[in-house]
A and B are shown apart, each in its own frame.
Chain A
């Protein structure tokens, strides 16, 4: 669905505030070829191990239920998302 021939998936990160019932609020909707596939949230609560990094809050479709590490940057997150969106 996401990879057609050599055309790379277009990933758009759209800023959004997320209610996580914690200070972790700043988020990104991850839109791949026009479909919402995940929500990333920046860890802000000081007691997290990796404050400032990006957490894969939830995934849809192929990413549903996936466990991901936290990412130091949105570029790292996008690289991981791109890899896991590819057909198996």
Chain B
């Protein structure tokens, strides 16, 4: 479970023994948080960087009429804003969806580890940039895709992201979201989510039972929603080719 972070970062670039050891030092104090609990609320002053080691969490905002919009899903290995402590206060809330294993990392520890390990600093940058890329893709998804393609796209994305941290077996993964939570994520009504999931099942693309999602035909599901994984920038996985990305003038730590 501790390895979720290392696995995620290594899908970007290989880490030395020392770097891996230093990363393990960040994740010593793990706490369990129940499902549907806030980890931090809009308006709070962020002190620590939160890291999800197990379970699903999300970023969300509440609208004045009580409606909730989920803007991001956080899965094992994901930071809830690496540099959030630079800002004065949270402009959105972060809450768990399922029971989560969470680590609170003091900002000092982040400063120290990045100062001592350039590979980790670079991998952390990569995390932040990919978070931005995912958000952009979600904008495209919400604004440009029909409900069926929109949900299929999310399911493809989760397959890639969870596989990068070793949470996928035979194209199946734990999928704890309720229909309401999918609706809040996709800007759809519960009823439309229900109809759409039914359609995806009827097409033989997915199977969803007991909070486990199985993608029955990955290639067909990807074709169905024109999924292009480029925005995830996963390079050391079966989805991406490893490219050399050495920065001139940087010493490997």
Count class of interface residues, chain B: 10 to 19
Please provide the chain B residues from 39 to 81 with a CB less than 8 Å away from any CB of chain A in the complex: 65, 67
A41 to chain B, nearest CB (A): 8
- A75 contacts B by Cβ under 8 Å: no
Q: How far is the CA of A55 from the CA of B188 in the complex (A)?
A: 13
Q: Decide if the interface of chain A is mainly helix, strand, loop or mixed.
A: loop
Residues of A with C-beta under 8 A to B179 = 49
Chain B: CB-nearest residue to A41: B191
Q: Is the CB of B65 within 8 A of A21?
A: no
Contact status of A45 and B190, CB under 8 A, knowing A67-B65, A67-B67: no
Q: What's the A-B contact tally at a CB cutoff of 8 Å?
A: 25
Are A49 and B190 touching (Cβ within 8 A)?
yes
For residue B67, which residue of chain A has the nearest CB? A67
Interface stretch among B168-176, B192-200, B220-228, B234-242? B192-200
Q: How far is the CA of A76 from the CA of B75 in the complex (A)?
A: 40
Quick one: closest B residue to A43, CB to CB? B191
B194 & A47 in contact (Cβ 8 Å cutoff):
yes
> Looking at the complex, which one of A45, A49, A67, A70 makes contact with B195 (CB distance below 8 Å)?
A45
B24 within 8 A of A: no
**Chain A residues positioned under 8 Å from B190 (CB to CB):** 49
Chain A residues numbered 8-36 whose CB sits less than 8 Å from any CB in chain B: 20-22, 24
Shortest beta-carbon distance, B104 to chain A, in Å? 35
Check A45–B198 contact: CB distance below 8 A. Answer: yes
Residues of chain B having any CB pair with chain A under 8 Å: 65, 67, 179, 189-191, 194-195, 198-199
- Seen from chain A, the residues whose Cβ lies within 8 Å of a Cβ on chain B are 20-22, 24, 43, 45, 47-49, 55, 67, 70
